[in-house]
């Protein structure tokens, strides 16, 4: 899938979601509620965690410039507060440590995406805060209202490399602290198994 | 298999021993009860549940534990302080096994820590967990409580690598001013159970296996995890599991064996209903691990599955 508004391999990260219409303007995040996909939404899926779940939403959103709205609905994810956190990152961004400013979630940190991606997310979409809404008819009404509203974001899709580059680690064997057999040792820090000389 | 050069600590919680060299002590298995959407719970806020069904589940786990030799614990998940108290009252009357009290909300964990201290259950209850989001308020609550056992979670949302997780425990890394192990000491936690934290597959689930080995080698504390969370968060498996539930079940149960082969001492195996499948599988793995180190000076303790089942 590719045009000026959608990344070549969209959506780039897998998750608990269903893609319906990639050219729709609205996505639906159902938080802790599991719901069937709604016609005419771009994608529909749950978001139960306040860190990895939020990262996935951001990566999949900014790689499709057609998405301009995210309906945040369904039951809030208890303790994790993924809905609260999604709104917080959109409103406030993150601090220097990667903590999502203003989130009340348990461990609201961003690890795998750069600040520029978060900034793009904040610019690209508007969040529609309907946390607690589970009534499917009402959700469909909102999708119908927003599915064609406005234009795509006037920037090409932004693709974030999510697979970390493998770093070659210099393996310094400091000594065997695990014995596999007499004379065969393992250095647990490096993971190297070696024969004692 | 292998043995660690570092002396391996064995902690005793309510007469259940956790830790040691691979093959020495049987893996301790904790089934979760009152979890999110557990069918026996009718009101998770108030802690209303089907007591008869809960008792049956707890007893069934205990029977399997007695039969196989794998000690058991009951992992209680609560969504409110009131629910935590009701659950603790009930489960402590139903079993002598250690209890793990867990909630995603720190205020619920703090309320539970205070409650078990008040009613004299602190010495059989494990705090689950001290993690990177720990606050001064939580440290104070735990310090004021009588609890001396806790799971120390290696989840590092800023650096999920092996190094990042180890640093979080060692010196706090870039996240905390002190390491979580030091914080645990500050709170009076003497029995530290390290959980390397199971992130979804694709986000470093496998790192937890390496960390199990590295943490035991470095600190000698017991290490274990809720490894079933890896298959349960795997969308592909969930989808094919809709067509054939057995496929899902096999991966879910088998994950316990993977953690055992990485020297895990305890495992939170998920819904307590899975006890009937998990205990035989874990006993099998324990027997094989024990046999693999038999000529390395590791003697399985009395009651180990190798003495009971073969």
pLDDT at A177 (0 to 100): 84
Query: What gap in Å lies between CA B271 and CA B147, rounded to an integer?
Result: 25
Mutating which of B45, B157, B167 best tests the A interface, going by the most A Cβ atoms within 10 A?
Answer: B157
Which pLDDT tens digit goes with each residue over B163-177?
999 999 999 998 899
**Strand partners for B100:** B75, B126
Whole-Å CA distances, B309 to A167, B72, B202, B284, B303: 45, 17, 37, 9, 10
Query: What gap in Å lies between CA B127 and CA B106, rounded to an integer?
Result: 11
Say if B2 falls within a structural domain.
Answer: no
Instruction: State yes or no: pLDDT of B34 exceeds 70.
Output: yes
pLDDT at A164 (0 to 100): 57
Note whether B174 contacts A97, CB cutoff 8 Å.
Answer: yes
Using an 8 Å Cβ cutoff, are B256 and B280 in contact? no
Using an 8 Å Cβ cutoff, are A26 and A71 in contact? yes
Which pLDDT tens digit goes with each residue over B253-301?
999 999 999 999 999 999 999 999 999 999 999 999 999 999 888 999 9
Whole-Å CA distances, A52 to A64, A115, B233, B269: 19, 15, 12, 22
Residue B81: CA count within 13 A, CB half-sphere: 10
Q: Judge residue B289's burial from the number of C-beta atoms within 10 Å of its C-beta, 0-12 exposed, 13-18 middle, 19 or more buried.
A: buried
Say if B79 falls within a structural domain.
Answer: yes
* A195–chain B Cβ distance below 8 A for any pair: no
The DSSP string of chain B is --EESSPPPEEEETTEEEE-STTTSPPEEEEEES-TT-TTEEETTTTEE-HHHHHHHHHHHHHHHHHH---EEEEEE-SSHHHHHHHHHHHHHH--S-EEEE-SSHHHHHHHHHHHHHTT-GGGEEEEEE-TT--HHHHHHHHHS---EEEEE---TT--SHHHHHHHHHT-TTT-SS-HHHHHHHTT--EEEEE---PPTTTTTTHHHHHHHHHHHHT---BEE-TTHHHHT-HHHHHHHHH-HHHHHHHHHHHHHHHHHTT-SEEEEEEGGGHHHHHHHHHHHHHHHHHHTGGGT--PPTT-HHHH--
- Could you count the other beta carbons within 10 Å of the beta carbon of residue B59? 12
pLDDT at A175 (0 to 100): 76
Instruction: State yes or no: pLDDT of A167 exceeds 70.
Output: no
Query: What gap in Å lies between CA B40 and CA B44, rounded to an integer?
Result: 10
Query: What gap in Å lies between CA B152 and CA B155, rounded to an integer?
Result: 9
Sign of CA dihedral B163, A59, A10, A138: positive
Distance between B231 CA and the closest CA of chain A, angstroms:
13
Mean pLDDT confidence for B238-251: 94
Which pLDDT tens digit goes with each residue over B179-212?
999 999 999 999 999 999 999 998 899 999 999 9
Q: Which of the pair, B93 or A96, is modelled with greater confidence?
A: B93
pLDDT at A171 (0 to 100): 59
- Could you count the other beta carbons within 10 Å of the beta carbon of residue A136? 12
Query: Closest Cα partner for A197 from A178, A184, A187?
Result: A184
Query: What gap in Å lies between CA B161 and CA B159, rounded to an integer?
Result: 6
pLDDT at A27 (0 to 100): 98
Query: What gap in Å lies between CA B211 and CA B192, rounded to an integer?
Result: 15
Round the average pLDDT of chain B to a whole number and report it: 96
Query: What gap in Å lies between CA B224 and CA B253, rounded to an integer?
Result: 15
Query: What gap in Å lies between CA B228 and CA B182, rounded to an integer?
Result: 28
Cβ-nearest to B4 among A108, A177, A189: A177
Mean pLDDT confidence for B231-250: 93
Sorted by where each begins, the domain ranges of chain A are: 17-146, 167-197
Note whether A111 contacts B217, CB cutoff 8 Å.
Answer: no
> Nearest residue of B to residue A188 by CA position?
B214
CATH code at position B271: 3.20.20.20
pLDDT at A166 (0 to 100): 54
Confidence of residue B307 (pLDDT cuts 50, 70, 90): very high
Report the DSSP pairing between strands B99-102 and B125-130: parallel
For residue A127, is the peptide bond before it cis, meaning its omega torsion is within 30 degrees of 0? no
In the numeric block, which tokens belong to residue B187? 């709170």
Which pLDDT tens digit goes with each residue over B78-123?
999 999 999 999 999 999 999 999 999 999 999 999 999 999 999 9
Mutating which of B35, B109, B134, B158 best tests the A interface, going by the most A Cβ atoms within 10 A?
Answer: B158
Lowest mean pLDDT among A47-61, A153-167, B48-62, B115-129: A153-167
Instruction: State yes or no: pLDDT of B77 exceeds 80.
Output: yes
Question: Which residues in A lie closer than 8 A to residue B104 (C-beta atoms)?
Answer: 78-80, 106
The DSSP string of B146-179 is ---EEEEE---TT--SHHHHHHHHHT-TTT-SS-
pLDDT at A169 (0 to 100): 56
Distance between B242 CA and the closest CA of chain A, angstroms:
14
pLDDT at B66 (0 to 100): 98
Report the DSSP pairing between strands B16-19 and B10-13: antiparallel
Instruction: State yes or no: pLDDT of A2 exceeds 90.
Output: no
Say if B169 falls within a structural domain.
Answer: yes
Domain encompassing residue B69: 10-308
In the numeric block, which tokens belong to residue B309? 């089942």
* B41–chain A Cβ distance below 8 A for any pair: no
> Nearest residue of B to residue A107 by CA position?
B133
Sign of CA dihedral B138, B207, B274, B307: negative
Instruction: State yes or no: pLDDT of A56 exceeds 70.
Output: yes
pLDDT at A178 (0 to 100): 81
Question: Which residues in A lie closer than 8 A to residue B296 (C-beta atoms)?
Answer: 179, 181
Say if B15 falls within a structural domain.
Answer: yes
Structurally, how many domains does chain B consist of?
Answer: 1
Say if B5 falls within a structural domain.
Answer: no
* B213–chain A Cβ distance below 8 A for any pair: yes
> Nearest residue of B to residue A98 by CA position?
B158
Instruction: State yes or no: pLDDT of A184 exceeds 90.
Output: no
> Nearest residue of A to residue B237 by CA position?
A16
Query: What gap in Å lies between CA B24 and CA B202, rounded to an integer?
Result: 33
């Amino acid at each position: 899938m590719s045009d000026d508004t959608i990344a070549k391999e969209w959506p780039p990260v897998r998750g608990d979601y269903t893609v319906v219409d990639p050219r729709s303007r609205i996505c639906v995040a159902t938080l802790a509620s599991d719901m069937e996909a709604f016609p005419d939404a771009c994608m529909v899926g749950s978001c139960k965690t306040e860190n990895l779940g939020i990262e996935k939403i951001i990566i999949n959103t900014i790689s499709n410039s057609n998405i301009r709205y995210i309906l945040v609905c369904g039951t809030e994810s208890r303790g994790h507060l993924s809905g609260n956190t999604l709104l917080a990152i959109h409103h406030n961004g993150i601090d220097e440590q990667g903590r999502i400013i203003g989130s009340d979630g348990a461990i609201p940190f961003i690890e795998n995406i750069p600040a520029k991606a978060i900034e793009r997310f904040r610019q690209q979409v508007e969040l529609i805060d309907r946390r607690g809404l589970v009534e499917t008819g009402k959700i469909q009404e909102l999708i119908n209202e927003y599915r064609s509203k406005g234009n795509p974001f006037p920037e090409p899709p932004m693709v974030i490399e999510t697979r970390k580059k493998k770093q070659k680690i210099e393996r310094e064997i400091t000594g065997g602290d695990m014995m596999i057999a007499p004379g065969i040792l393992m250095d647990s820090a490096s993971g190297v198994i070696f024969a004692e000389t | 298999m292998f043995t660690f050069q570092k002396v391996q600590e064995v902690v005793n919680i309510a007469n259940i021993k956790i830790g040691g060299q691979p093959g020495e002590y049987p893996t301790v298995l904790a089934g979760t009860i009152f979890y999110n959407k557990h069918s026996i719970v009718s009101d998770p806020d108030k802690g209303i549940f089907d007591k008869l069904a809960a008792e049956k589940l707890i007893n069934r786990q205990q029977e399997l534990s007695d039969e196989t030799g794998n000690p058991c614990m009951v992992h209680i998940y609560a969504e409110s302080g009131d629910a935590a108290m009701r659950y603790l009252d009930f489960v402590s009357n139903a079993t002598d096994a250690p209890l793990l009290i867990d909630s995603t909300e720190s205020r619920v964990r703090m309320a539970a820590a205070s409650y078990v201290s008040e009613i004299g259950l602190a010495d059989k209850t494990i705090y689950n967990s001290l993690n990177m989001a720990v606050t001064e308020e939580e440290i104070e609550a735990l310090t004021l409580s009588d609890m001396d056992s806790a799971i120390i979670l290696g989840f590092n949302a800023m650096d999920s690598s092996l190094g990042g997780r180890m640093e979080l425990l060692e010196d706090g890394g870039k996240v905390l001013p002190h390491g979580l192990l030091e914080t645990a000491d500050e709170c009076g936690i003497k029995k530290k159970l390290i959980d390397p934290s199971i992130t979804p597959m694709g986000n470093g689930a496998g790192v937890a296996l390496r960390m199990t080995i590295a943490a035991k080698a470095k600190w000698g504390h017991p290490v274990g995890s809720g490894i079933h969370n890896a298959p349960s968060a795997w969308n592909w498996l969930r989808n094919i599991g809709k067509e054939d539930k057995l496929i899902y079940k096999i991966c879910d149960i088998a994950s316990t064996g993977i953690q055992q082969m990485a020297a895990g001492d305890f495992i939170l195996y998920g819904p307590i209903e899975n006890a009937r499948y998990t205990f035989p599988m874990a006993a099998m793995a324990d027997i094989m691990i024990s046999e693999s180190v038999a000529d390395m000076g590791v003697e399985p303790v009395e009651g180990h599955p190798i003495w009971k089942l073969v």
